[in-house]
Structure 1
Amino acid sequence: MSHNNPTYRRIAVIGAGPSGYAAAHALSLEKKFDVIRVFERRDKIGGLWHYDSIPDEFPLKENPEVVLPSKFPALAPPATEDVTARTAIYEKLDSNVGAEIMAFSHTPFPLQNSATSVLRLGQNNASRPFQVVQKYLDTLFQKYRHFVSLHTTVERAEKKGDQWVLSLRQPGHAEPDGQLRDFWWQETFDAIVVATGHYNVGAIPNVQGLDETYKTVPTAFEHSKSYRSADNYVAKKVVVVGGNISAADIVTDLHAIVKGPLYTAQRGLNEKLIPAWNLPGVVRKPQLKRVFASPTNGKVGVEFSDGEVVADVDNIIFATGFRVAYPFIQPNNPVTLTNRLDGVYEHIVKIGDPSLAFVGQVKGGLSFRVYEYQAVAVARILAGRGNLPSVVEQKEWEKKRLAQKGDSVAFHEILPDFGLYWNRLREIAGKPAPESDGYELPLWRQEWADTALAILERKGKWWNDQIQYAKARL
């Protein structure tokens, strides 16, 4: 059934990273909207693909809720910095999805590799250093820069009647008295596309003793979001918590330089990454049960769930993923306590009200290309051209997915069913309208998954080479 709603004329996109670009591009091609605005809280394009030398703090709590002014527009004292806006990029970060499939279908990445990736993965490998990714996004966004308001935080997005009211804040307005103030104002839209990504608020598991130990030895703890350079861990005793790609990348960086052994604590793990946990000097342990402060030396001790205790640890790095967080959507925030979006069909539109749309809320979906598919589907829905099933069928989809994937962030995990999801987005998007500049999304091809995940194969080979080299030296 087609969802035809001609009232969506003014659209706000929240976020100017890869999913924000995908949304702006797709909306623009529809040639159906009077206003497209993109709001980005940072002072540059690219979202999380920027390096912040000072990282986010250890994320034990989210930012306190911002108090809105009583009237708009307003000038107000500066709000405290939103540290969640600092990114997870570190000095030597290379992309983990093969460049050919990571790129949007309409524009390939330039071929440019980092020295580290060439040493590990070979010449002309499929990874790209973060600087190349950021420049790619910045270049693409130039066409839509007139949509973009940088350094603008959406502090509140609230639906009132059939309109979305956005409360917006811009810091750094100098007043005649020499003081800097935040400028607040409101704008109204028919629909919003939330494209703020899901790498903002680090998820920390519930570990016995963590709160008290953190108060005593705060410097011992960090989330992978705050990891910056291997130089910070030379000759340190380190535990890495987690079993997925960021844990594997950190272990790869640190295994040869820390005060060995390097412990990894894992509740579960990605089978493709097993060679990383077998690197020389790495000891694989089950999940972390307890942490405690060492009484004498300002370090911490850990106990794993098998009962082994390791004392005098300098750093515990939690590579334990991120929380779904869209705190500005009020009062009906769709994020559940179980870390997923509730009542959102195919991870892209609110069931029964597509004026609330999301681009980028998937795990293991093959970014950036999956954002492109989501954005084209969302743009067509908002243009009254998409093929949405009935509300009853949308609710049935959510019920089935909950039964299949569980009530957790895994609800948003696409891997390994790429083809099913991409082709479903293609069906929802349908063919472009003749009066638009849109294009038809290509059918999924299985070799895309192989191309996208080839970096992991190359990494696996390099890890195994290191293991064999170490054995040969014994």
Structure 2
Amino acid sequence: MGSVTTSHELFEVRRIAIIGAGPSGLAAAKYLIAEDSYEQLDVYEQQPEVGGVWFYSPEIVGVTPVPHTTPRGPPELPIWPKGSPAPLFSNPMYQHLNTNIPKPLMQYSDQNFDSQSRLFPSRQDVQTYLIKYSQDVRHLIKFFTQVADVHLVSKDGKDHWELTSRSIITEEQKTVEYDAVIVANGHYSVPFIPAVQGIEAFNAAYPSTIIHSKAYRSPDAFKNNKVIVIGSAASGLDIGTQISKVCRKPLLNSVKTSSELKLEQENKEEVPPIAEYLVDERAVRFEDGRIEKDIDAIVYCTGYLYSYPFLKSMEPPIVTNGRRVRDTYEQLFHINHPTLAFTALPQKSIPFPLSEAQAAAIAKVWANKLALPSKLKMIEFEEKRIEELGDGAGFHVLGFPNDARYINFMYDWVKTANDGFAKEPARWGSELVHLRERYQEVRKKFVEAGGQAKTLEELGFEFSLKY
């Protein structure tokens, strides 16, 4: 393994690979270019277009095992639908999806959403927005190229990275050496379905009854069915609302805690978590003892596992059970090997401006214009976060107001660089912080008003929104 780089050693970063051309990968490319300190920048993207999770694939690849609790496995395989000009990978995007974040909060600091898009933009609007955002970095992107392996090597006492990629079209493999790597491939690929008593036998007896939200595309298949949707976060709320309009009433929403936001709740009934599956009755028993029989469909909106199959050679492992990414400072730089960075790990945050702030920090640190703390200080940061939030899924959760504080902390840190900003990231003023605090209230009013409003003012909200 390579030596440990600390803030007392100068980085020698000239060649950088970015894995993923989704929202955080695109932001990383822009800020690295703006820094004008690097000789080579390659962006690897397995899809035919930018967008990452926002690039909609109507086809669904494979079936998620039930239960599914491990992040380990080979890179995902594509499909080549009949008549399609290109192979595709499935992702969690479904047919009728609008963001759950209003566009003044969601957008990058240097590009507004189209004035004609709805206040909570559709998936199509977001994809169009990202294609526009990508225009000045598209020449760097290697489309149809999947990263198969990233291997750490040591040369002259410095860490280097051998990246092996594979063409999705020709299957040709190529290995290139880089001085640094940004992992920007997201964390919405490997579904999590918990191991509940009896779930495996139930799934064997009634195949396809249990699915994960990654396989959801539209409510049509649930018409007149008795349905349980598990989870009350953004996907559980939205998918449950869509299905509730066509399924047998009421839709049962299995939750650990009551949802903070109620949308069209008259068609839903909140029930406790499932304690056991009962095969003979095609039933489930909830934690309060209630039994529901003759279940037609169960949709797990229970999130995803962090998974990096191309980093399988790293020791100690980057991920173990998939609930968090290990050995990271500020959820960004690998502590032992800080020429490896992970973007957009935080959850319950606003990812586009957060990715900008992280990208600005990476660009400055690797250009030796901004110093990382000592290794000891970075270890202390991680240990303190584990002590406060645990060594599991909660480690990466920000939520409000911590996501606003994180964005502004990154901004203020980058501002201390010895040459100032090469490209200025987002910094949230009081108006954006206030909107972040109230955005669920805004969303509820947006839905109640018919879901067509384009501005906050149309809904009666007045914010003077400035970065």
Cα distance in 2 for partners of 1:372, 1:390 equals: 24
Partners of 2:72 and 2:309 within 8 A in 1 = no
Cα distance, 1:396 vs structure 2:
0.9
Find the counterpart in structure 1 of residue 38 from structure 2. Answer: 33
Q: Which of 384, 391, 396 is the equivalent residue of 1:412?
A: 396
- Report the CA distance shift for 1:357/1:155 in structure 2 as closer, same or farther (over 3 A): same
Find the counterpart in structure 1 of residue 287 from structure 2. Answer: 305
Find the counterpart in structure 2 of residue 210 from structure 1. Answer: 199
Report the secondary structure of 1:36's partner residue: strand
Counterpart residue identity of residue 64, structure 2? P
Q: Relative to structure 2, which stretch is displaced further, 455-464 or 403-412?
A: 455-464
Report the secondary structure of 2:208's partner residue: helix
Cα distance, 1:245 vs structure 2:
1.5
Report the secondary structure of 1:368's partner residue: helix
Q: Does 2:91 match 1:87?
A: yes
Cα distance in 1 for partners of 2:433, 2:215 equals: 30
Cα distance in 1 for partners of 2:168, 2:449 equals: 51
Cα distance in 1 for partners of 2:408, 2:421 equals: 21
Give the structure-2-normalised TM-score. Answer: 0.85
Counterpart residue identity of residue 379, structure 1? A
Q: Which of 122, 143, 163 is the equivalent residue of 2:160?
A: 163
- Report the CA distance shift for 1:214/1:449 in structure 2 as closer, same or farther (over 3 A): farther
- Report the CA distance shift for 1:25/1:315 in structure 2 as closer, same or farther (over 3 A): same
Partners of 2:71 and 2:305 within 8 A in 1 = no
User: What's the CA shift string for 1:256-309, capped at 9, x where partnerless?
Assistant: 321122111112344x22x24x711322111011223356xxxx3211111111
- Report the CA distance shift for 1:444/1:43 in structure 2 as closer, same or farther (over 3 A): same
Find the counterpart in structure 1 of residue 434 from structure 2. Answer: 450
Cα distance, 1:443 vs structure 2:
3.9
Counterpart residue identity of residue 206, structure 2? V
Counterpart residue identity of residue 135, structure 2? Q
Q: Which of 97, 107, 113 is the equivalent residue of 1:109?
A: 113
Cα distance in 2 for partners of 1:397, 1:209 equals: 40
Q: Does 2:410 match 1:425?
A: yes
Cα distance, 1:442 vs structure 2:
4.8
Unaligned runs of 5+ in 1: 68-78, 114-124, 174-181, 467-474
- State, as a whole percentage, how many aligned pairs show the same letter: 29
Cα distance in 2 for partners of 1:151, 1:285 equals: 44
Unaligned runs of 5+ in 2: 1-5, 80-86, 451-467
Residue correspondence of structure 1 range 316-395 to structure 2 within 5 A: 316-332=298-314, 333-337=317-321, 339-395=323-379
Find the counterpart in structure 1 of residue 268 from structure 2. Answer: 282
Report the secondary structure of 1:37's partner residue: strand
Report the secondary structure of 2:151's partner residue: strand
Cα distance, 1:410 vs structure 2:
1.3
- Report the CA distance shift for 1:80/1:55 in structure 2 as closer, same or farther (over 3 A): closer
Equivalenced residue count is 428
Cα distance, 1:81 vs structure 2:
3.4
Report the secondary structure of 1:158's partner residue: strand
User: What's the CA shift string for 1:114-155, capped at 9, x where partnerless?
Assistant: xxxxxxxxxxx5210111111111122121112110111101
- Report the CA distance shift for 1:442/1:263 in structure 2 as closer, same or farther (over 3 A): closer
Counterpart residue identity of residue 180, structure 2? A
Give the structure-1-normalised TM-score. Answer: 0.84
Cα distance, 1:450 vs structure 2:
3.4
Cα distance, 1:57 vs structure 2:
4.0
Cα distance in 1 for partners of 2:371, 2:380 equals: 16
Q: Does 2:226 match 1:227?
A: no
Counterpart residue identity of residue 276, structure 2? R
Cα distance, 1:411 vs structure 2:
0.6
User: What's the CA shift string for 1:209-256, capped at 9, x where partnerless?
Assistant: 112222222211111111111222111110000121111111221223
User: What's the CA shift string for 1:403-428, capped at 9, x where partnerless?
Assistant: 11111121111112123312321243
Partners of 1:324 and 1:409 within 8 A in 2 = no
Counterpart residue identity of residue 253, structure 2? T
Cα distance, 1:384 vs structure 2:
1.3
Cα distance in 1 for partners of 2:72, 2:240 equals: 33
Find the counterpart in structure 2 of residue 120 from structure 1. Answer: none
User: What's the CA shift string for 1:53-106, capped at 9, x where partnerless?
Assistant: 122444225798559xxxxxxxxxxx9538994111111101111111211101
Cα distance in 1 for partners of 2:363, 2:416 equals: 12
